[in-house]
């Protein structure tokens, strides 16, 4: 046994004290740990358990498909298709920038984008929504998906997800009506209107898609999944299925819409077809049109530029509710109402049309230099005597405050929005003395208001700006006896099976008082124009089985520019049910372009079989 | 009634002068085996999903380490520890040499050069160094027992610990370096160094901390690696940087807190979904807290309390000063690791990379812990032997 002099038999008091001190330290330390554990586990256990659950549970948004849009007969106008989107999950991307760019380069070759663009887009998306997958490309072909899935190792963090894409099966038909969808903007996110919509969701951005977005957009579902610390999926905990948006039934007729756009034949123009009693819009179109499917994915800047370009006629521009044009002689309906109601003329007042009149040293001529002789209201409308209306314009300017025509035009809906259920409608413009005099004071025009301005207005020339829908509203007010209708596209909200959930009531129309005999006289004048010998559109409607009352219009737009061509028709006479308004930006005489287009549309509205071949002024059959 | 082997007069101990086969401290053994059981159960539940395809990878290894450790402990308990006193110079040289060797050829484990891989086992010199330091330091102090009041004795002892401490901190293994410093403090304390020396050492330590944490970074000298600095200071405010250093503390607190009174068992998602980092090594106590709750943590802590009580008791029994200082160093090693590790998991101590003895997974740590326990048992056995030789009853 090892022996040394330091063997001790008993504890010295000093050592005993020191060991007691070590024991004391241990006791205190155990006490601190015990109370800390008590605090953490017993007192705050629930709190930490909630935190632990927060850690592991992620909610993944499950996109809800938007509701479908159908026409009055249930034909599908807008629906959805499923697309395959390529996404990247941020947690699984290579940390090294060079490797990441390499991945983007390989991915870019597959989906047709540069590595830099993918990088920028992904980092933008991740800034907005950290930790959730960022979309690289919305809609890829199945063979690309197959390629990616077979080579998962080469594409770390790249996933393929099924997404709903808005589909417009009729492409250019009704594009302006249906509108487009797009990702919700930052401003919209703050708007009450979009409560419950999250970042990255797609909402209606124009047209019906925008107007009825509240009904069309569904309720996103959610999948609660368990993830580990690296964000790997470890199983699904619960699912809240997405709810598709409501189906929207429009009162329109797809067939008429199609025929209308074809009748315009790609020329710059627009048309409106409306029920004169209810205000239900049957068709409303603008050409050139575009394919709203382009907006279902993220639209390319190049495409957007093309759709906005002046040379191509700004296809995105909805001429039916945004185009402000002088209306030419179609305005005479309004001047007639103003002249009759204002007491300047009676239905029987006869004026002598010598082909021109002189007012204040300026000569105002009939179109084409024709002289119609002695004419009363009906005949003046039938043959489109300008002189007859020049005189009303001249007299109206000198009566009372001189605003008789403007007041009646305003009452009939000119110079203000019609209130149709579409966004971005423009009011057009109704020239007044006050407006021109103010401009003159500011030296923005060379002359103050004169009687000549009012004479121009009386035949729809000059500064007046109106669109086809406004003219359709004005004409239907006369046709229905004084109801200024609010045009309506939406009919009702339905469930997916087509059962009505909610009728979309249109607000009760404003009323104006027009004496029945005046109304009668005007309608007869319009009927004559489309049927009586010498009527301006009589050749166009020869042989048309439905009695039509309609007015041509040809508006001058200044030197060097082709005339604006118009036709507004009411049918069937004498109790019209529909109004059709057509305009061409560069159509020349109304009777040459707009009226034949109107006939094609009316033939479809009234289901006149085989009418296309018999038409005058149109060599094209479709 | 069964007869006791001792004190009945049936056997005459004078006829059997040899130490009985196992004169172990039964309660220390009980605490040891209890903690082994806790460790195996915790590792088993915590690591099943860590390596795909081999759910028992860590469990089987840890069990093997325990097996080897227990055998080594039993062998060492029969050896008279006093022999090691003669070899102090050799022991010290082996310690420094092995640390340097690891630094020279050690495999890189997450940027740390702290072990040499032997396939099944990775040798961590800094772990073994703890025990070698205690052996060498105790011998040095016993040699100088008459001159303990000299400043020279204290400063030499401190230097003996600071040299390996600096080396392992450079590896970088901050935790083991701190353990070395705790060991030298305890050995001096038990040996009977004057209070004035401790006051001076305390002042020096405070100065060093200020220098390393505040002054040196201010002038651009990097004594600790930036991540070591961050870990040291993260526990002060874990929410400040929730995705980096504060992350570990936050996840550990969440794990322990969510365990509640009786634990989450299979729903222990912090552990099973990897939110808790290092859950089989540094943060194994958080696993205990989450899976078995306050009750489980209390059982583990009670076993540790039992272990420390028995260690302190052996400290009072030792037959010679060498045994006393040795037991003091070993007790301090256990206490320091226990309190710093558990304190780290509950957010009241900095993250230093110190493992929990007997519970944490790891070959070197397990083996060294059992060697230390073997030494304690040896001190116990020798003390009982010496006492019985003098006819004193120091039995339980």
Contact B277, B248 (CB under 8 A): yes
Question: What value does the mean pLDDT of chain B take?
Answer: 84
> Looking at chain A, which residue has its C-alpha nearest residue B285?
A37
Which of B273, B319, B335 is opposite residue A56, by nearest beta carbon? B273
Average pLDDT over every residue of B143-160: 91
Residue A260: predicted pLDDT: 95
> How many CB atoms neighbour CB A489 within 10 A?
25
Looking at the predicted structure, is the pLDDT value of residue A3 above 50? no
Residues 231-250 of B with CB under 8 A from A: none
Query: In sequence order, which residues have a C-beta less than 8 Å from that of residue B243 and are 6 or more positions away?
Result: none
Nearest to A528 by CA among A543, A508, A545, A550: A550
Per-residue model confidence as pLDDT tens digits over A89-106: 777 778 788 888 888 888
Phi, psi at B213, each rounded to 5°: -85, -30
Contact A257, A287 (CB under 8 A): no
Helices and strands: H and E segment counts in chain B: 14, 3
> Looking at chain A, which residue has its C-alpha nearest residue B273?
A228
Whole-number Å distance between alpha carbons of A460 and A330: 7
Which of B251, B256, B308 is opposite residue A40, by nearest beta carbon? B256
Average pLDDT over every residue of A581-602: 90
Residue B18: predicted pLDDT: 53
Over the range B101-118, which residues count as b (16 or more CB within 10 Å of their CB) and which as e?
Answer: ebbeebeeeeeebbbbee
DSSP string spanning A109-156? HHHT--HHHHHHHHHHHHHHSTTS-EEEES---HHHHHHHHHTGGGST
Q: How confident is the model at residue A602 (pLDDT cuts 50, 70, 90)?
A: very high
Which of B85, B251, B258 is opposite residue A49, by nearest beta carbon? B258
Cβ contacts of B339 on chain A, cutoff 8 Å:
29, 33
> Looking at chain A, which residue has its C-alpha nearest residue B83?
A2
> How many CB atoms neighbour CB A128 within 10 A?
12
Gap from A30 CA to chain B (nearest CA, Å): 8
Q: Does B148 touch chain A (CB under 8 A)?
A: no
Cβ contacts of A45 on chain B, cutoff 8 Å:
257-261
Looking at the predicted structure, is the pLDDT value of residue A355 above 70? yes
Task: Report in angstroms the alpha-carbon separations of A37 from A167, A317, A412, B285.
Answer: 59, 69, 81, 11
**Domain segments of chain A as ranges:** 59-91+105-151+158-248, 254-306+315-497+509-605
Q: How far is CA A158 from the centre of its chain?
A: 35
Nearest to A482 by CA among A512, A509, A523, A510: A512
Query: In sequence order, which residues have a C-beta less than 8 Å from that of residue A95 and are 6 or more positions away?
Result: none
Q: Please name the CATH architecture into which domain A59-91+105-151+158-248 falls.
A: Alpha-Beta Complex (3.90)
ipTM of the prediction greater than 0.90, yes or no: no
| Long-range contacts of residues A108-117, Cβ cutoff 8 Å, at least 24 apart | A110/A140, A110/A144, A110/A147, A110/A148, A111/A86, A111/A136, A111/A137, A111/A140, A111/A144, A112/A137, A113/A137
Q: Which residues, listed in sequence order, are joined to residue A583 by a DSSP beta bridge? A: A270, A566
Residue A604: predicted pLDDT: 94
Gap from A297 CA to chain B (nearest CA, Å): 35
Question: What is the DSSP code (8-state) at residue A554?
Answer: E
Peptide bond into A572 cis (omega under 30): yes
Which of B255, B297, B316 is opposite residue A37, by nearest beta carbon? B297
Phi, psi at A62, each rounded to 5°: -115, 115
Per-residue model confidence as pLDDT tens digits over A415-442: 999 999 999 899 999 999 999 999 999 9
> Looking at chain B, which residue has its C-alpha nearest residue A40?
B257
Average pLDDT over every residue of A499-522: 91
Gap from B82 CA to chain A (nearest CA, Å): 7
Average pLDDT over every residue of A145-168: 85
Cβ contacts of A22 on chain B, cutoff 8 Å:
186, 189, 312, 328, 331-332, 335
Whole-number Å distance between alpha carbons of B136 and B145: 14
Per-residue model confidence as pLDDT tens digits over A128-152: 666 667 888 888 888 888 888 888 8
To test the contact with chain A by mutation, choose from B258, B336, B341, B392 the residue with the greatest count of A C-beta atoms within 10 A, namely B258
Gap from B286 CA to chain A (nearest CA, Å): 11
Contact A316, A207 (CB under 8 A): no
* Tokens, residue A364: 């105002």
Kindly determine whether residue A6 and residue B331, on different chains, have CB atoms separated by under 8 Å: no
Whole-number Å distance between alpha carbons of A526 and A472: 14
Cβ contacts of B347 on chain A, cutoff 8 Å:
36
> Looking at chain A, which residue has its C-alpha nearest residue B189?
A18
> Looking at chain A, which residue has its C-alpha nearest residue B311?
A23
Which of B251, B258, B312 is opposite residue A22, by nearest beta carbon? B312
To test the contact with chain B by mutation, choose from A18, A26, A41 the residue with the greatest count of B C-beta atoms within 10 A, namely A41
Q: Does B305 touch chain A (CB under 8 A)?
A: yes
Over the range A362-372, which residues count as b (16 or more CB within 10 Å of their CB) and which as e?
Answer: eebebbeeeeb
Token pair 């002060």 in the structure block, residue: B236
Q: Which residues, listed in sequence order, are joined to residue A494 by a DSSP beta bridge? A: A247, A500
Q: Please name the CATH architecture into which domain A254-306+315-497+509-605 falls.
A: 3-Layer(aba) Sandwich (3.40)
Average pLDDT over every residue of B211-234: 74
Q: Which residue has the higher pLDDT, A620 or A126?
A: A126
Per-residue model confidence as pLDDT tens digits over A250-288: 999 999 999 999 999 889 999 999 999 999 999 999 999
Which of A30, A48, A228 is opposite residue B253, by nearest beta carbon? A48
Looking at the predicted structure, is the pLDDT value of residue A325 above 50? yes
Q: Which residue has the higher pLDDT, A54 or A166?
A: A166
Residues 20-79 of B with CB under 8 A from A: none
Kindly determine whether residue B269 and residue A18, on different chains, have CB atoms separated by under 8 Å: no
Q: How far is CA A340 from the centre of its chain?
A: 38
Looking at the predicted structure, is the pLDDT value of residue A614 above 60? no
Residues 260-289 of B with CB under 8 A from A: 260-261, 264, 269-270, 273-275, 289
Per-residue model confidence as pLDDT tens digits over B287-311: 999 999 999 999 999 999 999 999 9
Which of B294, B319, B335 is opposite residue A7, by nearest beta carbon? B319
Looking at the predicted structure, is the pLDDT value of residue A347 above 90? yes
Cβ contacts of B82 on chain A, cutoff 8 Å:
2, 4
Whole-number Å distance between alpha carbons of A172 and A52: 53
Q: How confident is the model at residue A618 (pLDDT cuts 50, 70, 90)?
A: very low
Per-residue model confidence as pLDDT tens digits over B333-356: 999 999 999 999 999 988 888 999
Residue A616: predicted pLDDT: 47
Q: Does B187 touch chain A (CB under 8 A)?
A: no
Residue B9: predicted pLDDT: 46
Q: Which residue has the higher pLDDT, B197 or A496?
A: B197
> Looking at chain A, which residue has its C-alpha nearest residue B385?
A1
Which of B253, B255, B316 is opposite residue A19, by nearest beta carbon? B316
Task: Report in angstroms the alpha-carbon separations of A54 from A57, A116, A220, A226, B238.
Answer: 6, 35, 21, 10, 18
Gap from B1 CA to chain A (nearest CA, Å): 35
Whole-number Å distance between alpha carbons of A118 and A99: 14
Q: Which residues, listed in sequence order, are joined to residue A553 by a DSSP beta bridge? A: A566
Residue A224: predicted pLDDT: 82
Kindly determine whether residue B328 and residue A22, on different chains, have CB atoms separated by under 8 Å: yes
β-sheet with A564-571: strand ranges across: A281-287, A269-275, A578-584, A564-571, A549-555
Gap from B219 CA to chain A (nearest CA, Å): 32
Nearest to A570 by CA among A470, A480, A461: A480
* Tokens, residue A264: 């315009």
Residue A179: predicted pLDDT: 93
Of the candidate ranges A138-142, B79-83, B318-322, the one whose mean pLDDT is the lowest: A138-142
Per-residue model confidence as pLDDT tens digits over A381-428: 999 999 999 999 999 998 888 899 999 999 999 999 999 999 989 999
Kindly determine whether residue A44 and residue B82, on different chains, have CB atoms separated by under 8 Å: no
Question: What value does the mean pLDDT of chain A take?
Answer: 88
Residue B234: predicted pLDDT: 66
Query: In sequence order, which residues have a C-beta less than 8 Å from that of residue B61 and are 6 or more positions away?
Result: B120, B361, B363
Question: What is the DSSP code (8-state) at residue A247?
Answer: E
> Looking at chain B, which residue has its C-alpha nearest residue A18?
B190
Whole-number Å distance between alpha carbons of B378 and B375: 5
Whole-number Å distance between alpha carbons of B189 and A388: 124
* Tokens, residue A283: 């068709």
Contact B184, B137 (CB under 8 A): yes
Looking at the predicted structure, is the pLDDT value of residue A516 above 90? yes
Per-residue model confidence as pLDDT tens digits over A218-236: 888 888 878 777 767 777 7
Task: Report in angstroms the alpha-carbon separations of A570 from A192, A273, A383, A551.
Answer: 42, 10, 17, 9
Residue A131: predicted pLDDT: 62
Looking at the predicted structure, is the pLDDT value of residue B7 above 60? no
Q: Which residue has the higher pLDDT, B275 or B298?
A: B298
Residue A212: predicted pLDDT: 95
Gap from B155 CA to chain A (nearest CA, Å): 20
Of the candidate ranges A36-50, B20-34, B307-321, the one whose mean pLDDT is the lowest: B20-34
Looking at the predicted structure, is the pLDDT value of residue A326 above 60? yes
DSSP string spanning A270-319? EEEEEETTT-BEEEEEEES---GGGGTSPPPHHHHHHHH-TTTT-TTS-H
Percent of chain B with pLDDT over 70: 85
Whole-number Å distance between alpha carbons of B304 and B32: 9
Whole-number Å distance between alpha carbons of B66 and B33: 10
Contact A224, A57 (CB under 8 A): yes
Residue B396: predicted pLDDT: 37
Whole-number Å distance between alpha carbons of A11 and B376: 18
Token pair 């509701």 in the structure block, residue: A67
Phi, psi at A159, each rounded to 5°: -130, 160
Residue A435: predicted pLDDT: 92
Contact A521, A375 (CB under 8 A): no
Q: How confident is the model at residue A620 (pLDDT cuts 50, 70, 90)?
A: very low
Contact B259, B46 (CB under 8 A): no
Q: How confident is the model at residue A56 (pLDDT cuts 50, 70, 90)?
A: confident
Residue B391: predicted pLDDT: 43
Residue B239: predicted pLDDT: 58
Q: Does B319 touch chain A (CB under 8 A)?
A: yes
Residue B394: predicted pLDDT: 42
Residue B241: predicted pLDDT: 53
């Amino acid at each position: 046994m090892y022996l040394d002099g330091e063997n001790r038999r008993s504890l010295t008091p000093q050592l005993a004290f020191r060991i007691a001190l070590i024991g004391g330290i241990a006791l205190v330390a155990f006490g601190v740990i015990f109370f800390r554990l008590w605090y953490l586990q017993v007192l705050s256990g629930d709190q930490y358990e909630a935190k632990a659950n927060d850690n592991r549970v992620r909610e993944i948004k499950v996109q809800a498909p938007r509701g479908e849009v159908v026409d009055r007969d249930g034909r599908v106008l807008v629906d959805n298709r499923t697309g395959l989107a390529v996404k990247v999950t941020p947690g699984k991307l290579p940390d090294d920038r060079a490797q990441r760019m390499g991945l983007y380069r390989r991915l870019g070759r597959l989906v047709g984008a540069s590595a830099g663009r993918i990088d920028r887009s992904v980092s933008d998306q991740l800034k907005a929504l950290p930790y959730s997958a960022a979309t690289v490309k919305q809609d890829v072909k199945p063979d690309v998906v197959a390629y990616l899935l077979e080579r998962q190792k080469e594409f770390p963090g790249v996933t393929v997800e099924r997404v709903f894409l808005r589909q417009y099966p009729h492409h250019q038909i009704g594009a302006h009506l249906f509108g487009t969808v797009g990702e919700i903007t930052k401003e919209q996110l703050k708007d009450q209107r979009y409560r419950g919509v999250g970042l990255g969701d797609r909402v209606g951005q124009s047209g019906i898609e925008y107007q009825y977005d509240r009904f069309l957009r569904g309720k996103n579902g959610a999948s609660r999944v368990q993830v580990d610390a690296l964000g790997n999926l470890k199983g699904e905990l619960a699912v809240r299925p997405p709810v598709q948006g409501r189906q929207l039934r429009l009162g329109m007729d797809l067939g008429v819409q199609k025929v209308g756009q074809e009748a315009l034949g790609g020329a710059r123009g627009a048309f409106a077809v409306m029920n004169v009693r209810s205000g239900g819009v049957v068709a409303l179109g603008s050409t050139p049109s575009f394919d709203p499917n382009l907006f279902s994915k993220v639209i390319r800047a190049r495409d957007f530029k093309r759709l906005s370009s002046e040379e191509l006629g700004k296809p995105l521009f909805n001429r039916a509710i945004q185009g402000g044009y002088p209306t030419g002689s179609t305005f005479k309906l309004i001047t007639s109402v103003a002249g009759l109601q204002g007491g300047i003329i009676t239905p029987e007042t006869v004026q002598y049309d010598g082909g021109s009149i002189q007012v204040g040293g300026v000569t105002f001529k009939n179109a084409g230099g024709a002289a119609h002789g002695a004419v009363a209201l009906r005949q003046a409308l039938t043959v489109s005597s300008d002189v007859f209306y020049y005189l009303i314009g001249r007299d109206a300017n000198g009566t009372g405050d001189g605003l008789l025509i403007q007041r009646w035009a305003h009452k009939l809906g000119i110079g203000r929005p019609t209130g149709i259920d579409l966004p971005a409608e423009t009011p057009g413009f109704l020239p007044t003395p006050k407006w021109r005099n103010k401009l003159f004071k500011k030296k923005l025009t060379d002359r103050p208001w004169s009687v000549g301005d009012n004479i121009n207005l009386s035949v729809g020339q000059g500064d007046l700006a109106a669109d086809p829908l406004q003219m359709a509203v004005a004409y239907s007010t006369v046709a229905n006896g004084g109801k200024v209708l609010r045009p309506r596209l939406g009919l009702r909200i339905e469930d997916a099976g087509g059962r009505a959930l909610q009728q979309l009531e249109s607000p009760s129309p404003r009323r104006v008082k027009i004496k029945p005999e005046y109304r009668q006289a005007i309608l007869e004048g319009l009927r004559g124009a489309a049927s009586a010998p010498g009527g301006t559109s009589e050749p166009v409607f020869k042989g048309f089985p439905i009695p039509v009352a309609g007015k041509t219009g040809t508006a001058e737009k200044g030197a060097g520019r082709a005339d604006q061509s118009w036709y507004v028709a009411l049918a069937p006479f004498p109790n019209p049910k529909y109004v059709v308004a057509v305009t061409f930006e560069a159509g020349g005489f109304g009777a040459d372009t707009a009226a034949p287009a109107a006939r094609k549309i009316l033939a479809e509205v009234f289901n006149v079989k085989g009418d296309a071949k018999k038409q005058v002024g149109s060599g094209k059959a479709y | 009634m069964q007869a006791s082997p001792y004190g009945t007069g049936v056997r005459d101990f004078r006829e059997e002068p040899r130490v009985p086969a196992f004169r172990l401290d039964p309660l220390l053994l009980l605490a040891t085996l209890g903690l082994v059981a806790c460790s195996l159960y915790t590792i088993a539940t915590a690591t099943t999903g860590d390596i795909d395809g081999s759910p028992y990878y860590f469990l089987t290894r840890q069990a093997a380490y325990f097996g080897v450790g227990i055998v080594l402990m039993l062998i060492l308990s029969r050896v008279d520890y006093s022999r090691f006193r003669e070899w102090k110079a050799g022991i010290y040289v082996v310690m420094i040499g092995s640390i340097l060797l690891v630094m020279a050829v050690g495999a890189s484990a997450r940027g740390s050069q702290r072990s040499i891989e032997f396939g099944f086992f990775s040798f961590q010199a800094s772990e073994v160094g703890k025990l070698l330091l205690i052996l060498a330091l105790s011998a040095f102090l016993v040699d100088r027992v008459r001159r303990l009041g000299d400043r020279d004795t204290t400063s030499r002892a401190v230097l003996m610990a600071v040299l390996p401490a600096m080396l392992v901190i450079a590896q970088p293994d901050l935790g083991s370096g701190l353990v070395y410093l705790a060991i030298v403090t305890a050995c001096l304390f038990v040996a009977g160094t004057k209070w004035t020396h401790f006051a001076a050492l305390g002042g020096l330590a405070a100065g060093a901390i200020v220098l390393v944490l505040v002054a040196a970074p201010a002038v651009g000298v990097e004594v600790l690696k930036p991540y070591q600095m961050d870990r040291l200071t993260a526990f002060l405010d874990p929410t400040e940087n929730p995705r980096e250093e504060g992350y570990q503390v936050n996840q550990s607190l969440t794990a322990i807190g969510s365990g509640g009174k009786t634990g989450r068992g299979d729903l222990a998602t912090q552990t099973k979904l990897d939110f808790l980092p290092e859950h089989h090594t540094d943060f194994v106590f958080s696993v205990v807290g989450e899976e078995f709750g306050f009750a489980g943590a209390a059982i583990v802590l009670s076993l540790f309390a039992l272990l420390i009580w028995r260690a302190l008791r052996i400290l009072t029994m030792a037959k010679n000063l060498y045994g006393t200082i040795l037991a003091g160093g070993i007790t301090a090693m256990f206490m320091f690791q226990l309190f710093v590790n558990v304190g780290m998991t509950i957010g009241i101590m900095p993250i230093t990379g110190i493992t929990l003895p007997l519970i944490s997974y790891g070959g070197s740590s397990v083996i060294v812990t059992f060697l230390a326990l073997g030494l304690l048992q040896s001190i116990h056995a020798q003390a009982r032997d010496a006492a019985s030789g003098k006819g004193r009853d120091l039995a339980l």
